[in-house]
A and B are shown apart, each in its own frame.
Chain A
Amino acid sequence: MAGTTVPIALGRAESDRLRSAAYFLRRNPRMVIGGLIVLGWLVAAAFAPWVAPYDPIKVNVVDSLQPPNLQHWLGTDDLGRDVLSRVIWGARVSLRVGLVSVSIGLLVGTSLGLAAGYLGGKFDLFIMRGIDALLAFPALILAIGITSALGPRIENAMIAIGIVAIPAYARLTRGQVLAVRAREYIVAARAMGAAPLRIVLRHIFPNIMNALIVQATLSTAFAILAEAALSFLGLGAQPPEPSWGQDINYSQRYLANLKWWMSVGPGIAIFTAVFAFNFLGDALRDALDPRLRRSGG
C-alpha cells in the first residue's frame, strides 16, 4: 500500500510545486522582469566577443561620429568605435566589478558578522566599532578615497567598492546571529558538544542565507552604479577599455556638437542593469525574507 501511495503523493507534490511556481511568477512580475534583464546582461557580458558586432577598441576614423544607423545601431564615437559594441563589452567590466566587490563584501562582512555575533564580548565590541568607523564614511567618498590612494585602476575600484559593502553584510549577519544564537536548537547543538565553527556553519549560516542573497542582489546594483561613478570620475576603468561610466564622461566633450548617441547607450545600459538588480532584489526580499519587507533599501 505504501508502495503505491508514495509515488502518487510525490507526483502530486511535483505538479503542486510547478503550479505554485507558476502562480508565484504570475504574482511576482518584478522577479520575472528583473531576472530577465539581469539574465540578458549576463549573457551579453559572457558572450561579448560573439554578441558585439565590432571590436570595441578598434579605431576607425573614417566612421567617426556617425549617428545611429543600420551598420552601427547606437552610432559611433569620435574614434569611429561602435557604441553598441562598447556597451556590450562594458557589461563585462560592470558585472565583473559587481561580482568581485560583492564577493569581497559578502566574504569579509559575513565572516566578521558571524564571528562577532557568535563570540560576542570584546571581539564583538572591537569588530563592531571598526564597522561603525567604516559606516561613518559616506559610501562614495570612501570609495573615492580608497581608489585614489591605491591608484585609478579597475581592480582597485573593485576593492574599494568591496570594502564599502562590508558593513552592510557584517551588521546584517551579526543581527541574525544574535537572533538565532539563543534558540533551542543552537543550545542543544552546543550541549551535544558541537564545535563553535560547526555550529556557525551548519546551524547558524543556513538561517541567514536568504537575507544574504537579498543583500547581495541589492548590493550588486550599488556596485554597478558605484563603478560607473568611479569610472566617470576617471578612477575606475582606464581608456581604451570600454566602461559605461567612463564612456559617458568621454561623451561629455561632444555634447555641444549634439552627438547625443555617445552617452545614451552607456547611460541606458547603467540604468537597466541597476534597475534590474534593484527590482530583482526587492522581489527576492518579498519572496525569501518576509521579515525584511517593511524595511527600506
Chain B
Amino acid sequence: MIRYILRRLVLMIPVALLVTVGVFALARLSPVDPVLVFAGEERDPAMLEAIRQQLGLDQPLPVQYVAWLSHAVQGDLGRSFQNKQRVTEAIIERLPATFELGLAALLISITFALVIGILSAVKRNSVLDLLSTSITLMGVSFPSFFLGVVLILLFAYVIPGRIFPPGGYVPLSQDAGENLRRLVLPAVTLATGSLALNLRQVRSSLLEVFGHDYMRTARAKGLREGAVIVRHALKNALIPVVTLVGIQVGAIIEGAVITEQIFSWPGVGRLAVQAIPSHDYPVVQGVVLVSALSFMFSTLLVDVLYAWLDPRISYESAAA
C-alpha cells in the first residue's frame, strides 16, 4: 500500500510541474502589461522600469518561471497588485468561509442523495423513483446561478418574514445563529448540482448490487430486508459514491466560485472573481494553482481510499 502511494506521488510530480507551467503561462498570456497594473497611476518610464526589475519581469520567461516556482513551493505566491497583500495570506483568510460553504453543501447533498437514492432503488419505478430521476435530470441541467437567484427571490423577498437574507457572511465565531441563517441558501444552491450526481450514483450502484448472487443468498438465509440493504448492498454500493464525493471535496473551490458570487460570500472563489477586472494576476494565478493542486491531491486520496475499500483492486494495476 505504501509503495502504491509513493508510486502515485512520484507519478504526480511531472503532472504537477506541467500544472505549474500552465498556471504560470496563464498570467503571461495576458495582453495587459502587469507593470502598468502594479504601478497604478504611475507612468514615469524610469519608475516603470524599476518596477519591472523589482518584479523580475525583465528576465527571460524560463528564469521568471523558475523564480516563481521556487517561491511558490515555499508558499509564497506573490503579492496582490491591488492591495499588496500576500496572496497566500489572502487565500488562507478566505478558506474557512469556502470550506464552511462547501462542506455544508456536501452534507446536504450526501444526506439527501443517500435517503432518496436508497428509497428509489428499493422502490424502483415508484413515484419516488420518478421524483429521484427528475431531481437528477433537473440538477444536472439547472444552472446554479439561476437557482440562487430564484431562492433569493423567494426566501429573501417574496415569502413574508424574510426567512433568509439575500447574501452576506457572518463568521461562525461572531454569531453562530446568524452564520447558519446566512449559510442555508448558498449551501442549498451549491448542493443541488452534486446532489444530482450523487443521487444518480447511489441509485445506479444499488441497483447493480441488487442483481448480484450474494444478495439473493442474504435474502435466502432469512435476513430482514433492512439488514440486507444496509449490511450487504450499501456496503458495496457506496464504494463508487465515496469516489464521487471525494472528487467533489477536491473541487470545493470550483463549485463555490459562482455561489460565492451570487451570495456575496467572502470565499476563495469570490477572491479570484473580484481580482479579474483589475487584472490582479497573482491572485487569480494563486487561486487557480491552489484549486488545481487540491483537486489533484483529492483525486490521489480517492484512488488510495478506493484501493483500500475494495480489496479486489490490485495496487499494481491501479498504479499503471
Contact = CB atoms under 8 A, between A and B. Distances in A.
B22 A274 contact: no
B254 A225 contact: no
B160 to A, nearest CB: 13
A62 interface: no
A271 B22 contact: no
Nearest to B22: A133
A232 B296 CA distance: 27
Interface string A130-171: 101110111111101110111110000000000000000000
Contacts of A279: 137
Interface of B is mostly: helix
A161 B18 CA distance: 19
B149 A228 contact: no
A234 interface: yes
A296 B201 contact: yes
B291 A141 contact: yes
B201 A275 contact: no
B253 A141 contact: yes
A148 B281 CA distance: 9
A258 B277 CA distance: 29
Contact of B258 (A134, A136, A233, A258): A233
**Main secondary structure on A side of the interface with B:** helix
Contacts, number: 149
Interface string A97-116: 00000000000000000000
A141 B250 CA distance: 12
B308 interface: no
A48 to B, nearest CB: 21
Nearest to A145: B288
A151 B22 contact: no
A245 interface: yes
Interface stretch (A17-25, A80-88, A183-191, A246-254): A246-254
Interface string B188-205: 000000000100110010
A35 interface: no
A260 B284 CA distance: 33
Contacts of A234: 276-277
B149 A255 contact: yes
A282 B222 CA distance: 39
Nearest to A228: B143
B313 to A, nearest CB: 17
Q: Which of A221, A232, A270, A271 has the most CB of B within 10 A?
A: A232
Contact of A144 (B16, B150, B257): B257
A133 B18 contact: yes
Given A133-B18, A221-B141, A263 B146 contact: yes
Given A233-B273, A235-B276, A248 B257 contact: no
A195 B272 CA distance: 49
Nearest to A140: B254
Contact of A138 (B23, B273, B292): B292
Interface stretch (B26-34, B53-61, B78-86, B117-125): B26-34
A145 B276 CA distance: 9
A130 B21 CA distance: 11
A276 to B, nearest CB: 8
A255 B141 contact: no
A152 B22 contact: no
Contacts of A275: 137-138, 141
Contacts of A44: none
A145 B15 contact: no
Given A139-B254, A234-B277, A251 B22 contact: no
B103 interface: no
A152 B146 contact: no
A122 to B, nearest CB: 13
B200 A137 contact: no
Contact of A255 (B137, B153, B201): B153
Chain A to chain B: the 4 pairs with minimum beta-carbon distance, closest first: A138-B254, A133-B18, A267-B146, A275-B141
Given A149-B284, A228-B145, 19 more contacts: A133-B21, A134-B22, A136-B16, A138-B291, A138-B292, A140-B257, A141-B253, A141-B287, A144-B257, A145-B23, A150-B30, A221-B141, A233-B276, A248-B149, A255-B157, A260-B153, A267-B150, A270-B143, A279-B137
Interface of A: 129-130, 132-134, 136-142, 144-146, 148-152, 221, 225, 228-229, 232-235, 245, 248-249, 251-252, 255-256, 258, 260, 263, 266-267, 270-271, 274-275, 278-279, 296
5 contacts: A136-B296, A138-B292, A139-B254, A248-B145, A274-B143
